[in-house]
Amino acid sequence: MSDILIAVKNKDLDSLRSILLDDPSLADVCDEEGVAVAFVAAKTGDMSILRYMVEYSRAHMNIRDPKGRHMLHYGVMSNNLEVVRYLTERVDMSPLEGDLRGITPYDLAVSEGYEDIVRYFEEVTGASYDRIYKNPVRRGFWPDPSVVAVGDDYYMVNSSFIYFPAIPISHSRDMINWEVIGYAVTDDDDAMLDELPGGRGYWAADISYHDGRFFITATYRLSDEGTVYRRQMVVSSDKPEGPYSKPVFIDEDGIDPSIFVDDDGRKYMLLNRGARIFELNSDCTKKISDATLLYYGDNKRGVEGAHLLKKDGWYYLFLAEGGTGMGHRITVARSETLFGRYEPCPYNPILKQEDDRLRIQKAGHGKPILCADGNWYMVYLCSRPVKGPGHIVSNLGRETAVDRIEWTADGWPIVGNRRHPSDSAVAPMLGVTDAVAQASFMHYDDDFTGLDMEWMSVRSRRGCVWTADNKLFLRCDNYEPSDIRFRGVLLRKQSSMDFDADITVCTGSMLVGEEYKCGLINYYDERTYVYMAVTRTSEDSLKINVVSHEGEDEVCGSCIVSYSDSVTLCEEVRGLERCFYVSAAGERKLVAALPKVDFLCDEGLGGGKRFTGATYGVFGVGEDVVYSFEKLHVYNRE
């Protein structure tokens, strides 16, 4: 251990002064775990040591340890309120800023039972711990959020791409806890997804409410064949959950439509590139004017996701810019008239992650909403990538986050005080609703008493999924997961980087033959997936195969187990590592360990139209064969 670390740990101020006077660069020394000497000083709880490191050494205060923790985390570890107060008030460190796993100093104080520090953080944040929420509020593949408030209820839509039913509609009373209540397109034929490659389908949906009806619009992205790639879809309903009208398509090129209703009742649709606008008829089913460009944006790269807000006599135009990767951001401009000249906000970007060390990245594509507490909030997409040497892997896809909007004295909106996207924040509706704390993300159990609303099919369902007698039944076809015609699959969105999952496969009536298989699948699209399949090879034996597909199949492991009426397939996921097990006749066997599954992500297989996220679920292959499953259990470990 270096002399400076010994001096700090021994709380020897004289030795610390002498060492740093002799060599000021030693203020940057780290211990064997990569923890900087300034952090060690905070952890000692000695104010004289801490103040010297902060006020007299060359140590930087914006550094992080290898786990993403900042100095206030270590101040909390000291259980010294004076240290915590000093770092919070004088060094301006936030108790709500998390590490790489989202753990904040506030979380740490609560988990350690440091009551004085917890009370202080309640005072600083203005909220008790149970009113603090964590971003993202919708975890996993929930991209391109749009929200509308109707009374005290909030309704959100997200992109669904080639998954069916199309465009999930979620409901909340507090903007934090959301539940899927319906879908915008529920008829297989109306969805028109059967022939589309992965990554196409329904992009960037928007929901609005006017004239007593809910309107949902989205870009219908076709394949790259032909001359028409993009059309704008509109449906409406008098109930938020639906059923919605048969889709109507508006033939104007562009993506990310939204509907704006002006004070005079006239209705408009906005589209990229830049922000273009055209007028709609009264029921939003027809274009009745040519499109015109309002404004091309502040960053002027990848401009999309336009939303208009009329407030205090101004038209505020919110835009997503910079592309959907690490440069993603939200900007705003305003004009005194709808078709006037738009002035860019002097504080642009009003939301962007500038620090690539932090947990939440790629923040953008947001829509403002006025909530019942009188405050404005921004719903936006973000990502929590897994980072390693030379690579960034966004296996959870793009998720939904919420942050508060503040309005400046000169009338501009800024998000989260322009610090960066929040790890944790005070929940909306404080003092307005009795909303419970944020629901746990840790567990999901399904005994198949019915079909949960969050289960998704690929492209269409056509009656091939049902539940009965606490079992899930899946009628399959003869197509492999790599085939666009593959339909024998049912999926859920992976919401955690670390999780365990197991499901029981009923094998009692399984046909003998290599052409029949079913099991557990991790699916991104037809080009990238991993599955563990059961095949009945004889009357008294079952074969378990793990197959990885990154453009082509690769068998990663297999084993033989004795025939029984059921086997349980299990997987353990830790970041990019995925291990697959089978439990049969009371014995658990490792079938395959895949140390680096880095292709179930937006960046996988050379890019392309990869905007969704990893999923897990069940699948089967076999012409008109029905497979059955029971007892799905998922345990998320973060």
User: Which residues are bridge partners to 248 per DSSP?
Assistant: 234
Find the mean pLDDT for residues 373-399: 89
pLDDT above 70 for 435: no
CA angle 592, 599, 382 (to 5 degrees): 125
pLDDT above 80 for 433: no
Find the mean pLDDT for residues 403-431: 89
pLDDT, position 414: 96
For residue 541, what is the enclosing H or E element?
Answer: strand 541-550
Contact 292, 278 (CB under 8 A): yes
pLDDT, position 215: 98
Cβ count within 10 A of residue 61: 13
Strands 577-584 and 566-574: antiparallel
In angstroms, the CA 7 to CA 25 distance is: 15
> Per-residue confidence at 442, pLDDT binned at 50, 70, 90?
confident
Find the mean pLDDT for residues 516-540: 96
The answer for residues whose C-beta is within 8 angstroms of residue 225's C-beta and 6 or more apart is none
Contact 427, 133 (CB under 8 A): yes
pLDDT above 60 for 110: yes
pLDDT, position 389: 66
Cβ count within 10 A of residue 613: 25
42 CA to centre of own chain: 33
- Residue written as token pair 């567990």: 443
- pLDDT per position as a tens digit, 62-104: 999 999 999 999 999 999 999 999 999 999 999 999 999 999 9
pLDDT above 70 for 292: yes
Domain spanning 444-636, CATH class: mainly beta
List active site positions: 144, 304
**What contacts 24+ positions apart, CB below 8 Å, involve 281-285?**
282/211, 283/236, 284/215, 284/217, 284/234, 284/236, 284/259, 285/234, 285/248, 285/250
Cβ count within 10 A of residue 312: 8
In angstroms, the CA 375 to CA 179 distance is: 22
CATH 1.10.3720.10 at 3-126, yes or no: no
- Residue 328 tokens read as 């993603």
pLDDT, position 479: 97
Q: Where in the chain is the domain with CATH 2.60.120.200?
A: 444-636
pLDDT, position 83: 98
> Per-residue confidence at 637, pLDDT binned at 50, 70, 90?
confident
- Residue 189 tokens read as 């034929």
Q: Where in the chain is the domain with CATH 2.115.10.20?
A: 134-439
Packed helices 13-22 and 47-55: angle between N→C axes, nearest 10 degrees: 20
Domain spanning 134-439, CATH class: mainly beta
- pLDDT per position as a tens digit, 113-135: 999 999 999 999 999 999 999 99
Secondary structure letter of residue 136 according to DSSP: -
Q: Where in the chain is the domain with CATH 1.25.40.20?
A: 3-126
Preceding peptide of 346 cis, ω within 30°: no
> Per-residue confidence at 390, pLDDT binned at 50, 70, 90?
low
Q: What is the DSSP string of 372-385?
A: TTS-EEEEEEEE--
- pLDDT per position as a tens digit, 343-374: 999 999 999 999 888 999 999 999 999 999 99
Find the mean pLDDT for residues 502-516: 94
- Residue written as token pair 């197991």: 502
Find the mean pLDDT for residues 559-567: 94
Find the mean pLDDT for residues 397-413: 97
- pLDDT per position as a tens digit, 148-180: 999 999 999 999 999 999 999 999 999 999 999
> Per-residue confidence at 495, pLDDT binned at 50, 70, 90?
very high
- pLDDT per position as a tens digit, 188-209: 999 999 999 999 999 999 999 9
- pLDDT per position as a tens digit, 238-274: 999 999 999 999 999 999 999 999 999 999 999 999 9
pLDDT above 80 for 579: yes
pLDDT, position 225: 83
Distance (Å) of CA 566 to CA 27, 265, 506, 542, 599: 61, 61, 4, 10, 31
Distance (Å) of CA 599 to CA 267, 607, 637: 43, 10, 21
If you average pLDDT over every residue of the chain, what do you get? 94
For residue 120, what is the enclosing H or E element?
Answer: helix 115-125
- Residue 52 tokens read as 């010297």
User: Which residues are bridge partners to 82 per DSSP?
Assistant: none
Q: Among the listed ranges 202-206, 295-299, 482-486, 607-611, which one has the minimum average pLDDT value?
A: 607-611
Nearest-CA neighbor of 557 among 586, 588, 579? 579
In angstroms, the CA 94 to CA 60 distance is: 16
pLDDT above 90 for 465: yes
Q: What is the pTM of this model?
A: 0.95
Distance (Å) of CA 631 to CA 442, 505, 628: 17, 9, 11
- Residue 568 tokens read as 């349980």
Q: Among the listed ranges 31-45, 428-442, 592-606, which one has the minimum average pLDDT value?
A: 428-442
> Per-residue confidence at 387, pLDDT binned at 50, 70, 90?
confident
In angstroms, the CA 516 to CA 539 distance is: 14
For residue 618, what is the enclosing H or E element?
Answer: strand 615-621
Secondary structure letter of residue 36 according to DSSP: B
Preceding peptide of 398 cis, ω within 30°: no
pLDDT above 80 for 286: yes
Find the mean pLDDT for residues 494-502: 95
